[in-house]
Structure 1
Amino acid sequence: MKDIKTSLTAISKLYNTKKPHLLDSINLICTALEKLEALASYEYYGDFKGVPNIAYYAFTNSENISRPVQPEMFHYNRRVFLEEFNILMQSFQRTPDQWTHEEKKRANNVVYTGVMAIACCYDLWQRGSRKTPGTFFEIFMAGILKEVFAEYYFSKHIPLTEFLDGEELGNDAITEATNEDIEGDSEEPELKDSVSSLSTDLVIKNVSSGKSLVIPFKITTRERIVQPFAHQRILDSAFGIGKFSSFIVCISETQQDKKNTKVNQVCVPGTVKLYQQHLAPVRGLYYCDIPQRYDAPDMQKLLPVKTVGDFFVDAYHFFHESK
């Protein structure tokens, strides 16, 4: 894992200093795929018992087993992944609003493969670094989004000082940042949320229109699902409704049931609906592997739940929709 950890630290430094890092991320994913192919087995693990049933695979070595992997979305072969990524980059020569269903599916699967390759390596060989795959998810997505919004301003922080009027906005109101330091990074830790700013994973701002897209990236929402809704409530209160909008982008909600050798989808639809209705509405919830419960009509009526491929299209529409 030393090569993966060293590369990830270097990519993190590029990202934090706003330097190009997408190709470095792709090289790291290829290294992870090669390591998994050479040193781990990739086999059927069990089904999610839904409608329909979904088969999941997992990587194993002599000591550990990885998180469940959806084989229909995961490009196990490094060469296939590179081909799909290169075709995706060609798709960005056209704006995402012109994408076909196949192009959205390709974008979804490239993101899923990239994040899951890193996550599975950490599952097998570095189990103590639970937060690092989520950090890579943020870095990888930011690199791809730079292809779509190259002229826009990217940041992680939203200044709040001018709205505080000398009053402290306590840490209970502004929840802790989701960004985590990558193990081995020698840089000074990034400041967490304070009384003067709100931190999230990524903010993309169209300087000419003033509109900003706030994007929390989460491998799973089981922890701190309230955070994006709480942040949106603060932004609506501070800036007015419409200036900032949140799109929550996730990988899956799968969980292994090792006792019964099956996969569960752990969802909290009641909680999400409660926050969407009574805390602050977000614009969309996106998954590479959409949980079946979130694809149900009652959820879709209240909060659009789509693929990560659709996210690129909707993010483009957000900045180009008429006021």
Structure 2
Amino acid sequence: MDLQSAIKAIDTHIKEANHQEALSAITRTANECHSKAIEGATFKECRYSNKKYLLIDNRGETSRPINIEIWDPRHQSPAAWPQNKSGLESAESANASIYSLATSAAIFIDIYSPSSRKTPGTFFERVIRVFIGEKLGPEFAYGSFVPTSAGIKVSTDISITNQARTTGLVLAAKITTRERISQVFTQQRILDVLEPQKYTSCLVALSEMQRSGQDNAREVCTPDQWILYQMCLSQNVTHAFYGDIPSGLGRVTKGGISLLSLDGLEEHLQRFKQQAEAAQNQA
């Protein structure tokens, strides 16, 4: 299983705006990753904050913790996805589908190539890109850089603008944030200064869980940093969407950030679409 080659093939479909082919490639890749990861494996269960997690032991390696209540390989079947135009069964299934697809690729890397730390996040970002493209369609401009009035492009994970480039949404797609949450707020602060009232940002992440030793799981998140960044850098990081919502981030909602599962991402995108279309008509 060559995950890097699979990602390149997915990228080709994304560039061609062929989201159905990209989706099929993603599901095939996730299914193969899942099969390889569990072949000959042993399994251990552990708990954290009233959640049940699974650890997979295989080839002398142990996977990251997997939330058993969310991870469901049945959601990776292509037959389960094309029930509507969005390519997902429903908004309610989006969280389980995205979590299951991305997690299957991640545990494959944990077991077969544990030094490839960036690859799980790259695959997760592609899953999110396809989801966004399916929801918003071709009338929006997608990219990884935001041009500014200073003539300098701001690097992002995913940026979306209307055709008139009068309004935009920046998505930080991270399989996990830990100390990298500063990037989300710093990028938005730059946009606040150079492109005022034009862009907002949101975080789209999988989980903040990591293995503790060989048999347990722990959550690694930094709510105090979130609160400080929101107070001192930007209030325009408005939402954080998680496949497995961290229990330790509850306090950040007091500062105005909406903390939701990935099920809420579709509604957020549709709301942005309405705002972007209104701004386009006024341009």
Both proteins in one fold, TM over 0.5:
yes
Asked if the contact 1:88/1:107 (under 8 Å) is kept, the reply is no
Residues 258-277 of structure 1, C-alpha deviation per residue, up to 9 Å, x if partnerless? Answer: 16x32111111110011112
Instruction: Say whether the 8 Å CA contact 1:211–1:319 is kept in structure 2.
Output: no
Return the alpha-carbon distance in structure 1 between the equivalents of residues 5 and 80 of structure 2.
Answer: 28
Question: Are 2:254 and 1:301 equivalent residues in the alignment?
Answer: yes
Counterpart residue identity of residue 39, structure 2: A
Q: Is the 8 A contact 1:44 1:55 kept in 2?
A: no
TM-score (norm. length: structure 1):
0.77
Could you tell me which residue of structure 2 aligns to residue 36 of structure 1? Answer: 37
Aligned to 1:192: none
Amino acid at match of 2:163: V
The answer (yes or no) to whether the contact 1:73–1:109 under 8 Å persists in 2 is yes
Deviation, 1:36, is: 2.5
- Partner Cα distance (1:123, 1:12) in 2: 22
From 112, 136, 140, the equivalent of 1:152 is 140
Structure 2 vs 1, CA of residues 146 and 64 (structure 1 numbering), >3 Å: closer, same or farther? same
Change (3 A) 1:283 1:91: farther
Counterpart-to-counterpart distance in 1, 2:246 and 2:84: 27
Aligned letter for 2:207? Answer: S
Mapped pair 1:258 → 2:213: yes
Asked if 2 retains the 8 angstrom alpha-carbon contact of 1:88 and 1:106, the reply is no
Q: What runs of 5+ residues in structure 1 fail to find an aligned partner?
A: 97-101, 165-195
Separation (CA, whole Å) in 2 of partners of 1:93 and 1:12: 19
Q: Residue type of the partner of 2:186? A: A
Q: State whether residues 221 and 250 of structure 1, in contact with CA within 8 Å, keep that contact through their aligned partners in structure 2.
A: yes
Give the partner amino acid of 1:36: A
Go from structure 1 to structure 2 and tell me whether the alpha carbon gap of 1:208 and 1:163 turns closer, same or farther (over 3 Å shift). Answer: closer
Q: Distance in 2 between matches of 1:82 and 1:19?
A: 19
Distance 1:230 1:249 in 2: 16
* RMSD of aligned alpha carbons: 2.4
Counterpart of 2:47, as a letter, is: D
Q: Is residue 120 from structure 1 mapped to residue 120 from structure 2 by the alignment?
A: no
Q: Compare 108-117 and 11-20 and name the one that shifted more.
A: 11-20
SS of structure 1 residue aligned to 2:66: coil
- Counterpart for residue 178 of structure 1: none
What secondary structure, in the 3-state scheme, does the structure 2 residue paired with 1:280 have?
Answer: coil
Determine the C-alpha separation between the residues in 2 that align with 1:319 and 1:104.
17
Give CA deviations for 1:79-123 in whole Å, capped at 9, x if unaligned: x2245x6555434459x9xxxxx9333100100011100000000
CA distance in 2, matches of 1:279, 1:35: 44
Tell me the distance in 1 between the aligned counterparts of 2:79 and 2:193: 42
What is the SS of the residue equivalent to 1:24?
helix
> Are 2:45 and 1:90 aligned?
no
Query: When the two structures are aligned, how many residues end up with a matched partner?
Result: 272
Instruction: Report if the CA contact (8 A) 1:158-1:199 is conserved.
Output: yes
In the other structure, the counterpart of 1:215 is 171
Aligned to 2:72: 75
Q: Is contact 2:75–2:81 with CA below 8 Å preserved after alignment?
A: no
The Cα of 1:228 is off from its aligned counterpart by 0.9
CA displacement at 1:15 relative to structure 2: 3.7
Offset of 1:317 from its aligned partner?
Answer: 1.2
**Any stretches of 5+ residues in structure 2 without a counterpart?**
none
Supply the distance in 1 between the matched residues of 2:12 and 2:135 (Cα, whole angstroms): 22
Confirm or deny that 1:130 pairs with 2:117: yes
How far residue 207 of structure 1 moved from its aligned partner, in angstroms, is 1.9
* Distance in 1 separating the partners of 2:82 and 2:227: 35
Give the match for residue 269 of structure 1. Answer: 223
